[in-house]
Amino acid sequence: MEKMNKQKTRHEENKLSKSHETDVLIIGGGLAGCVLAYQLLEQGKRAIVLDEPHHSTASRVGAGIINPISGKRYSSIWNAKEVLPSALNFYQKCTDELPHKPDRIYCREVPTLRMFATEEERNFWEIKRAQEHHFAQLRETRNIDELYDKPSIHAPFGALQFPSWRVETEVLVADLRNALARRDALWEDFFDETLLELSNDAAGGLRYKNFSAKKIVVCHGWKAHKSSLWGTLPLSPAKGELLTVRLKSASLRHLLVKGTFLLPLFLSSSGDNASQETDLVRIGASYEWEQLDDRINADVGVSLLESAQAIFPTEMQIVEHRAGVRPAAKDSRPFLGVHPRYKQCFVMNGFGAKGAVLVPYCAEQLALLMDGRGEIPREIALERFLGKEP
């Protein structure tokens, strides 16, 4: 076994007294690590997640929106044909199989109105729709007053109507962690990479403290960019802030998007979503690349509130303000793959603002790769960075 660092303290050696053997040791128990572990256990493999819990991880803070058309260029989800069904099926399976509160649905459809900001944007969309036939069935509405009269939504150039989804990542991760803990597959501890002992021969696996495993997967989010094992991972983390507000004299039944989003937080699963309304709304999200921490900034809160009120002019009372950091990759796509030298070491990270839709599919692909039964699609493969990064 080759030691990453020979410094081991007595305290660390004694910390975990029992030894544990597993097929896959997963570092990080956010959405990525928990979904991967759950899928592996369902396939009959042994998996253990090692996670240092933190209250403001991306999976706890994030809005969980799956928006099929996003950004200024009206981009669809990468590989939507495979990625979206994989996500929706996985979340449905969790709703069916995980022990949870009776009314819980982890992923629900949310009718969406995306407002055109200018006439040019609307024209851009017309061209895009003509070029990409899967957009053809989407409806546009000029007269939003038919949908909301009091207050009226500010949408002088009309809006596009389509379904999005919202995944309650915070509760889902909590429930997945409970399910893993019940199967002795979750350990709350900081992973200190310097204590990792890797065999030079992949079949020899690895040891970490009292754990021995055939493989290790690092899914530890935005803080993972510095690693002596991986070098600098291609992350470009982006801090984001969100508000939760209560509407004083209005309710919302659509996700409204115009740069800023207003997401209705339906709290019960009963009834037809399309006809549900709520006065509880999440507003987001800011982007900041310099100050990477989970501190909330009052000015950002004010600016989010102003943007929201410009879209939906009604009185809003702030109930909660949260901040976290998205583990975004340099080219805005996740990266999955195996270490160039240690073939028992894998990585799955870089989900940025799209973890909700991408994680279940990526976990499936990584499990296949670890089994020697598949290759990671080029667009999300770690290899695209190897050789370019130190």
Which residues of the chain form contacts with ligand FAD (CB under 6 A)? Answer: 27-33, 50-52, 54, 57-59, 61-65, 169, 190-191, 219-221, 223, 240, 242, 284-285, 324-327, 349, 351-357
CB of 173 to ligand FAD, least distance (A): 7
- Between helix 355-370 and helix 80-97 the angle, nearest 10°, is 90
Nearer to ligand FAD, 219 or 308 (CB): 219
Nearer to ligand FAD, 133 or 190 (CB): 190
Nearer to ligand FAD, 29 or 68 (CB): 29
Nearer to ligand FAD, 152 or 291 (CB): 291
- The token pair that represents 320 in the structure block: 């909660």
Asked if the peptide bond before residue 285 counts as cis, ω within 30 degrees of 0, the response is: yes
CB of 31 to ligand FAD, least distance (A): 4
Q: What are phi and psi of 297, to 5 degrees?
A: -120, 120
Task: Give the CB-nearest residue to ligand FAD.
Answer: 30
CB of 189 to ligand FAD, least distance (A): 7
Nearer to ligand FAD, 125 or 222 (CB): 222
49, 34 contact by CB (below 8 A): yes
CB of 156 to ligand FAD, least distance (A): 26
Nearer to ligand FAD, 240 or 264 (CB): 240
* Alpha-helical regions (H) of 98-146: 119-131
CB of 389 to ligand FAD, least distance (A): 19
CB of 29 to ligand FAD, least distance (A): 5
- The token pair that represents 194 in the structure block: 């310097």
Beta bridge partners of 186: 49
* Plot region of 168 (φ>0 → left; ψ -120 to 50 → alpha; else → beta): beta
Q: Please state, as a whole number, how many other Cβ atoms lie within 10 Å of the Cβ of residue 138.
A: 15
CB of 126 to ligand FAD, least distance (A): 27
CB of 356 to ligand FAD, least distance (A): 3
The DSSP 8-state label assigned to residue 252 in this structure reads B
* Plot region of 352 (φ>0 → left; ψ -120 to 50 → alpha; else → beta): left
Handedness of CA 76, 77, 81, 85 (dihedral sign): negative
Nearer to ligand FAD, 216 or 356 (CB): 356
Place of tokens 């350990």: 187
Map residue 238 onto helix, strand or coil. Answer: strand
Angle at 293 between CA 292 and CA 296, to 5 degrees: 120
Residues 6+ apart with CB under 8 A from 101: none
Nearer to ligand FAD, 248 or 327 (CB): 327
